[in-house]
Structure 1
Amino acid sequence: MNPIVTIYTKSYCPYCKATKALLRRKGVDYVDHDITNDPKRTREMLARAKGRHTVPQIFIGDFHVGGNSDLNVLNSAGSLDALLQKTQKA
């Protein structure tokens, strides 16, 4: 199955590491675009995230989750698993 989660990260970012750890604990495959030294990917992220420039920026399918704190809010509310399942079925 193709990964349904895309994250834009920087190699030194602790919030990016926390995001990846949470996704790994959940057994979620993801595509990680490290934008540390990649202006093209940075522009791509800015366009997809509607100008948000902090990392990580997380997408589940076409849905823009936002950053690590947004992901944790979804997870704490029990909405993350439902969103992941819904996206897998689409």
Structure 2
Amino acid sequence: EFTEYCIDGDNQAREKMSQRANGARSLPQIFINDQHIGGCDELHTLEFQGELDNLLKAS
């Protein structure tokens, strides 16, 4: 299960996302169990390292 937030044209929502993402402003920003994972590159790295499945199982 996942929740997608559309922040196009919503500067307030984009700023809130950036704060949650430790200042990151690129999209997408991915969170698992309220833990900031990062963007697409970081997600792929977790998969490559074999860590993504464990994070998803814990959710």
TM-score class normalised by the smaller sequence = 0.7 to 0.9
Select the residue among 20, 32, 37 that pairs with 2:9: 37
Aligned-partner SS, 1:31: coil
Select the residue among 29, 40, 45 that pairs with 1:73: 45
Give the fraction of aligned pairs with identical amino acids, expressed as a percent: 37
Matches within 5 A, 1:2-81: 29-81=1-53
2:6 aligned partner, one-letter code = D
Bigger share in strand: 1
Aligned length: 59
Greater RCO, 1 or 2 (C-alpha within 8 Å, sep 6+)? 1
Bigger share in helix: 1
Aligned-partner SS, 2:3: strand
The offset of 1:83, in angstroms, is: 0.7
Gaps of 5+ in 2: none
Q: Which runs of 4+ in 1 moved over 2 A?
A: none
Gaps of 5+ in 1: 1-28
